[in-house]
Structure 1
Amino acid sequence: MAETLVNSKTETAAHLNQYAGDPNFMTSLARGLCVLEAFAQESPQMTISQLSSKTGLSRAAVRRCLYTLSRLGYAGAEDGQRYALRPKMLTLSHTYTVSNTLSSAAQPILERMSDQLKESFSVATLDGDEIVYIARSQVSRLMSVDLHVGSRLPAYCTSMGRVLIASQPPDEVERYLSRVELKPFTSKTVSSVDKLRSMLRNVRRNGYAMCDQEFEIGLRSIAVPVYAPSGKVIATVNLSGNAQRMPLLDMQTQFLPHLRAAANELSVFLR
């Protein structure tokens, strides 16, 4: 289940209907992005029919998108039927990484922390109701899902997501709580909106969030906010650890100071 969630942001033709009538909205570009986002770890190769079914676009529209993407080098089909993304796609993510001040500043900080503390660290921002990883250093594979820059996870059952949601204005938090669907990834996943609301209040009061095996059994994490000069929280730094060898108290006493120092260091790059 976790594998598919990382790529759950795929837009569909139905979603594009909300822009109908907007003269400045480029529908053809939006359709091409729908096709690109449809490719995922569990479906790296797809036929035109499969892409049409997944995106809700017509086969003719998918065919035109793939033709254009293939001519530009972003996609291709070795057998003429099953399409896959090409390495040129990496240039797009690389452009974001090197042009985003926070992302480029975060990576060496995370790598330094991993070298010193022998743990995995990440930086993420909020996109809708999901977190998006913009930097990550990993010392070992902790989760069944392979997290990397660009991976997406739900905000409600992740420490980074709770930091980012809790930092929103109260009315925004309530709007989020009114629409969130609390899918139970494990037996420990928060199951009620009232409980989540209480958790978010504690995060706001304490200045950090912890998640104990709510997204995946065996995984614990702790996260702190990264502040812009205006005082707004724009990102979060977290540590992910194995629950068997990392007691919750150790995460608070041993690692929380390091996370806060890293967050302060990142804030300097935003001034």
Structure 2
Amino acid sequence: MEIDKADLIEGMARGLAVLESFDTERQRLNATLAAQRAGITRAAARRHLLTLAHLGYLETDGSHYWLSAKVLRFSGSYFASARLPRALQPTLNRLASLTPDSFSAAVLDGDEVVIVARSGPSRVTAYGVHLGARLPAHATSTGRVLLASLARAELNAWLKGRDLARLTLRTTVEPKAFRALLEQVRRQDWCFASEEHELGVHALAVPLRDMRGRTVAALNVVAGSHRADKAALAREMLPVLLDAARELRPLL
């Protein structure tokens, strides 16, 4: 959403940028590192860190800072109030009762997809797939379905100047090959991703559309090495996912 510059509270934007600087690569930051990651001065980063610690969103040893459990208030409020997760969860629970596989629904957020609903085993992947988990869009079945659903101009803007990270030896990172892959996903309206995000993990995804035909999320099934065969996984699980997508459409 674009707003007028006069309506932008820059201090709030910088504070949120500092919070977003913390991730799995950098769980603890000092003022210098936070400034580099948030793109602000060290003095500004120091004030934001001190304020966030004062408000309880960060903990500190006096030199370094790390996220506190209070930040979970935001995700908790989202899952408690947002319509999309509540609409999806009963269907995912039903799917998980039918097979030993794990089912997830995700939305696109910049470079990543965010898991907004899930059901099934929590240890299908090495890292687990939990609510709120953020995964690289280019290397996941849900991410590719969501990218393929973008308008051409939006997709071109997303791809422009982007270096795709190689997460495994099987990750597609060459721009021309990745574009061709997304075109295939667009044509067939589903995506199979095998060991491109994590070795031993295979996933099949379909788009979730509302009654106006807009893709609002992606639904996938994540399986381990017992479902490594693309044809077998598609034959067994694609009809299940497509039926679920049709069932959910009036609710989205």
TM bracket, shorter-chain basis: 0.7 to 0.9
Which is further off, 106-115 or 214-223? 106-115
**Residue 134 and residue 191 in structure 1: after superposition, are their counterparts in 2 closer, same or farther (change >3 A)?**
same
State the secondary structure of the residue aligned to 1:70.
Answer: helix
Q: Output aligned runs, 1:1-271, within 5 Å.
A: 22-77=5-60, 79-270=61-252
Once the two structures are aligned, what percentage of the paired residues are identical? 37
- Please report the TM-score for the alignment, with normalisation by the length of structure 2: 0.87
> Matched residues in 2 for 1:95 and 1:256: separation?
33
Gaps of 5+ in 1: 1-18
State the secondary structure of the residue aligned to 2:19.
Answer: helix
Q: Which residue matches 1:3?
A: none
> Matched residues in 2 for 1:197 and 1:60: separation?
42
- Please report the TM-score for the alignment, with normalisation by the length of structure 1: 0.82
> Matched residues in 2 for 1:230 and 1:193: separation?
31
Once superposed, what is the RMSD of the aligned Cα atoms?
2.4
Q: Which amino acid aligns with 1:26?
A: I
Aligned residues: 250
> Matched residues in 2 for 1:76 and 1:160: separation?
34
**Residue 68 and residue 268 in structure 1: after superposition, are their counterparts in 2 closer, same or farther (change >3 A)?**
same
State the secondary structure of the residue aligned to 1:236.
Answer: strand
State the secondary structure of the residue aligned to 2:98.
Answer: helix
- Pairwise CA distance, 1:114: 2.0
Which is further off, 128-137 or 118-127? 128-137
State the secondary structure of the residue aligned to 1:112.
Answer: helix
Gaps of 5+ in 2: none
Q: What are the Cα deviations for residues 61-120 of structure 1, in whole angstroms up to 9, with x where unaligned?
A: 22221232233222222x333322222211111111222211122233223322321111
- Pairwise CA distance, 1:245: 4.1
> Matched residues in 2 for 1:177 and 1:90: separation?
31
> Matched residues in 2 for 1:174 and 1:33: separation?
27
**Residue 172 and residue 28 in structure 1: after superposition, are their counterparts in 2 closer, same or farther (change >3 A)?**
closer
8 Å CA contact retained: 2:122, 2:129: no
8 Å CA contact retained: 2:113, 2:143: yes
**Residue 220 and residue 38 in structure 1: after superposition, are their counterparts in 2 closer, same or farther (change >3 A)?**
same
State the secondary structure of the residue aligned to 2:64.
Answer: coil
- Pairwise CA distance, 1:146: 4.2
> Matched residues in 2 for 1:210 and 1:107: separation?
22
Which is further off, 221-230 or 105-114? 105-114
> Matched residues in 2 for 1:70 and 1:249: separation?
52
Which is further off, 145-154 or 115-124? 145-154
Q: What are the Cα deviations for residues 148-170 of structure 1, in whole angstroms up to 9, with x where unaligned?
A: 33332232221111111111223
State the secondary structure of the residue aligned to 2:91.
Answer: helix
